[in-house]
């Protein structure tokens, strides 16, 4: 380790304006300089304990050492104060500390206290041979060292043309060299201080829209433009913890890593795989997997007819274990199987063996897939560890496009609002839902449609879905669901006509010969896992041809002609809750007369289920709005 003197000088030289402003703030820096300009002076004394005592003329006392975090001051300020800055800046101007000696305590006390010396560079003031030798060695080291500050004339050093000036690009020890670590350092070294949760959050943020600006100064600053955060990396300090972040909250480590990774990305480095490897914390084969697979084997071999009812208890235990091992997808599958089995044992009319077969199949095959040689990220996706994590995004602009009511077999009811992000070309959802399998809870769709959204009391779902909104610091998850927690603020924007929006992949290719065949061959992957693999589409419709109720299929059909001239059939499934509304749809002249509008529909590859019709700034949610 270099002598304290050298380290201290290196430190003081490193306290450039750029660094100090980013570490503290501009105001503090300017005030410190002003005070010096107004005549404050500092007297420096070695303490012999790797610190220099600085007595300011306003009677504040600062202890300077080679680490800014460990500098102290006797004023009440908790963090870096103006006085510490003054001690540093004054030294930069006057160079009073110099190539001084690490004086012994006794000698130091005598020489220092007595002299209140302005110049401490003369080692001969010290008594004791050891100290003297040490001082000599220090001086020798200093002059021998490549460190420029000891040798060059201070005023010359600041000259930008001086090759010794670090900011001069011609300086071989220039910006790019000092910061080569940012691209050259192996990622695992840099990630060592991070928790899995933090890495997951960074991975999530890397998937968001963001651009960076790189500012070269004595520090290399990466500005995350949309987030509005600056992260400044220090020369030759390959440590993320040493980077300065303009945001000083507990999110700072996240921003530091995000900034570094985006910088590396810009330099052509793809860290995704390494990041994923560090992110996921699954032990290779959690025991719950083996046990669940074993149970499924037994169930299939024995057959439902001969299954003991105790199997539901085993499923319950496994579901709880799955949850605790961070595998929500497996937990859901297990509970789904358990639920269906309970219907079976009760000889309940709602039992459907096909559903049980499919759930068992999904569970069994996903467990098999887990045991293959798949990457950490795929394991995590199988496990479903993302779904419950929500992250705040600085800004999100959304355009409401439709809302629909729904009910699941497992006894949940809800209303889902769909909102479009033009910037990301992606649909987000906001869902209000409640389990209704308890007798005491009900979910009345009409009433819930008028209930307020999470972020504003007077704003109903109905009003929300037909608006255009700018969100700040709202929480979303990887499935692009908005959190129902109250975090975030929203501001209404004037609603632009739907025709001015580009719905990208949600619009079917207008060149396709037939929209129907295009739909079927579309990216509707035959889905192995997950029921109801449905895709949302925004279709351009020319007119409504007819509306009728089909008694055979018990569905309400709206026949439309698309702008491309093709006939399509929209299907609304019958449901006791919405029967009246469906009758109103069937009788509605307003719908019949619609021309040149957009339709938000869901499709499973065979049928189109309409959610809403949109025209200019207006919206009609077929199952929820008044007709």
Partner 1 sequence: MNPAEQLLSELTSWLDSVLLRGLAQLRLDDLPELERLIRSAKRLGMETLVELLTRQAEHIRQYTFQPSEPEPKEWIGNFFRLAAYAKMAM
- Say if residues 480 and 428 touch (Cβ distance below 8 Å): yes
User: Which x/- pattern, by CB under 8 A, does the window 195-214 give for partner 1?
Assistant: --------------------
**Closest approach of Cβ 356 to partner 1, in Å?**
7
Choose the binding region for partner 1 from 72-80, 165-173, 296-304, 406-414 (rule: CB under 8 A).
296-304
Distance CA 371, CA 185 (A): 33
499 or 531: whose CB is closer to partner 1?
531
User: Which x/- pattern, by CB under 8 A, does the window 525-564 give for partner 1?
Assistant: -xxx------------------------------------
**Closest approach of Cβ 307 to partner 1, in Å?**
9
Choose the binding region for partner 1 from 33-41, 329-337, 356-364, 491-499 (rule: CB under 8 A).
356-364
Residues near partner 1 (CB under 8 A), total: 22
- Say if residues 263 and 305 touch (Cβ distance below 8 Å): no
Q: Is 172 in the site for partner 1 (CB under 8 A)?
A: no
List the interface residues with partner 1, window 490-529 (CB under 8 A).
526-528
- Rg (the chain; Cα; Å): 34
Q: Is 618 in the site for partner 1 (CB under 8 A)?
A: no
**Closest approach of Cβ 361 to partner 1, in Å?**
4
Query: Contacting partner 1 (CB under 8 A), which of 38, 250, 267, 306?
Result: 306
234 or 603: whose CB is closer to partner 1?
603
Mark 183-218 as b/e (b = at least 16 C-beta within 10 Å): eeeebeebbeebeeebbbbbbbbbeeeeebeeeebb
Q: Is 376 in the site for partner 1 (CB under 8 A)?
A: no
List the interface residues with partner 1, window 79-98 (CB under 8 A).
none
Distance CA 572, CA 384 (A): 31
Query: Contacting partner 1 (CB under 8 A), which of 1, 305, 523, 552?
Result: 305
Query: Contacting partner 1 (CB under 8 A), which of 215, 300, 346, 487?
Result: 300
**Closest approach of Cβ 303 to partner 1, in Å?**
2
Q: Is 179 in the site for partner 1 (CB under 8 A)?
A: no
29-37 — which CB contacts under 8 Å span 24+ positions?
29/85, 31/82, 32/82, 32/85, 32/86, 32/89, 33/89, 35/82, 35/86, 36/86, 36/89, 36/90, 36/93
585-592 — which CB contacts under 8 Å span 24+ positions?
585/547, 585/556, 585/558, 585/622, 585/627, 586/547, 586/548, 586/549, 586/556, 588/547, 588/627, 590/620, 590/627, 591/544, 591/547, 591/558, 591/620, 591/627, 592/544, 592/546, 592/547
Residue with tokens 């700034």: 617
352 or 442: whose CB is closer to partner 1?
352
Torsion from C-alpha of 349, 354, 357, 361, nearest 10 degrees: -140
130 or 290: whose CB is closer to partner 1?
290
Choose the binding region for partner 1 from 7-15, 179-187, 299-307, 449-457 (rule: CB under 8 A).
299-307
**Closest approach of Cβ 352 to partner 1, in Å?**
10
Distance CA 170, CA 463 (A): 61
Q: What single-letter DSSP state applies at residue 482? A: B
**Closest approach of Cβ 294 to partner 1, in Å?**
10
Query: Contacting partner 1 (CB under 8 A), which of 143, 272, 302, 509?
Result: 302
**Closest approach of Cβ 293 to partner 1, in Å?**
9
Structure tokens at 218: 């004595």
Three-class secondary structure of residue 235 per DSSP: coil
Distance CA 433, CA 576 (A): 19
- The site for partner 1 (CB under 8 A) is made up of 296-297, 300-306, 353-354, 356-358, 360-361, 364-365, 368, 526-528
């Amino acid at each position: 380790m270099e002598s304290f003197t050298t380290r201290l000088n290196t430190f003081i030289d490193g306290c450039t304006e750029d660094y100090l402003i980013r570490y503290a703030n501009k105001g503090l820096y300017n005030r410190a300089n002003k005070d010096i300009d107004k005549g404050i002076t500092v007297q420096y004394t070695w303490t012999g304990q790797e610190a220099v005592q600085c007595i300011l003329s306003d009677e504040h006392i600062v202890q300077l050492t080679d680490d800014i975090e460990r500098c102290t001051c006797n004023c009440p300020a908790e963090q870096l104060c103006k006085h510490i800055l003054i001690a540093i800046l004054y030294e930069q101007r006057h160079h009073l500390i110099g190539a001084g000696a690490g004086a012994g305590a006794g000698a130091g006390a005598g020489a220092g206290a007595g002299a209140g010396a302005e110049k401490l560079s003369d080692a001969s003031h010290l008594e004791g041979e050891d100290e003297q030798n040490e001082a000599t060695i220090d001086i020798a080291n200093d002059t021998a060292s490549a460190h420029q500050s000891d040798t060059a004339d201070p005023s010359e050093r600041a000259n930008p043309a001086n090759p010794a000036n670090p900011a001069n690009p011609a300086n071989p020890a220039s910006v790019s060299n000092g910061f080569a670590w940012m691209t050259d350092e192996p990622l695992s070294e840099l990630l060592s201080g991070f928790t899995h949760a933090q890495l997951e959050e960074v991975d999530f943020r890397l998937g968001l829209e963001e651009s960076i600006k790189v500012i070269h100064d004595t520090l290399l600053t990466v500005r995350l433009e949309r987030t509005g955060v600056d992260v400044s990396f220090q020369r030759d300090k390959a440590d993320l913890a040493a980077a300065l972040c303009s945001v000083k909250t507990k999110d700072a480590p996240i921003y530091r890593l995000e900034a570094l990774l985006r910088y590396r990305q810009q330099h052509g480095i793809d860290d995704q795989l390494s990041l994923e490897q560090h992110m996921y914390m699954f032990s290779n084969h959690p025991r719950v997997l083996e046990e669940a697979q074993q149970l499924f084997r037994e169930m299939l071999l024995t057959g439902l007819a001969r299954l003991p009812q105790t199997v539901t208890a085993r499923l319950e235990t496994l579901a709880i274990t799955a949850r605790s091992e961070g595998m929500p997808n497996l937990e859901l599958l297990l509970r789904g199987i358990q639920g269906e089995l309970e219907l079976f044992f009760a000889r309940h009319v709602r039992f459907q063996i096909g559903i049980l077969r499919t759930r068992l199949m999904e569970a069994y095959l996903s467990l098999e897939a887990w045991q293959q040689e798949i990457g950490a990220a795929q394991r995590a996706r199988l496990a479903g560890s993302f779904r419950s994590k929500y992250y705040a995004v600085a800004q999100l602009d959304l355009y409401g496009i439709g809302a629909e009511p729904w009910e699941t077999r497992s006894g949940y009811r809800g209303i889902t609002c769909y909102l479009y992000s033009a910037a990301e070309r992606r649909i987000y959802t906001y869902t209000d839902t409640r389990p209704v399998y308890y007798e005491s809870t009900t979910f009345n769709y009409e009433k819930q449609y008028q209930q307020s959204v999470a972020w504003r009391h007077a704003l109903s779902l109905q009003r929300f879905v037909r608006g255009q909104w700018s969100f700040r610091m709202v929480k979303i998850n990887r499935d692009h669901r908005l959190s129902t927690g109250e975090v975030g603020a929203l501001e209404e924007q004037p609603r632009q006509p739907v025709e001015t929006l580009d719905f990208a992949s949600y619009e079917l290719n207008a060149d396709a010969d037939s929209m129907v065949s295009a739909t079927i061959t579309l990216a509707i992957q035959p889905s192995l896992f997950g029921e109801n693999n449905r895709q949302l589409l925004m279709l351009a419709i020319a007119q409504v041809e007819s509306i009728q109720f089909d008694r055979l299929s018990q569905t309400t059909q709206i026949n439309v002609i698309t702008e491309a001239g093709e006939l399509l059939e929209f299907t609304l499934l019958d449901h006791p809750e919405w029967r009246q509304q469906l009758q109103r749809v069937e009788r509605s002249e307003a719908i019949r007369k619609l021309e040149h509008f957009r339709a938000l529909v869901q499709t499973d590859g065979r049928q189109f289920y309409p959610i809403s019709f949109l025209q200019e700034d207006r919206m009609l949610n077929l199952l929820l709005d008044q007709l």
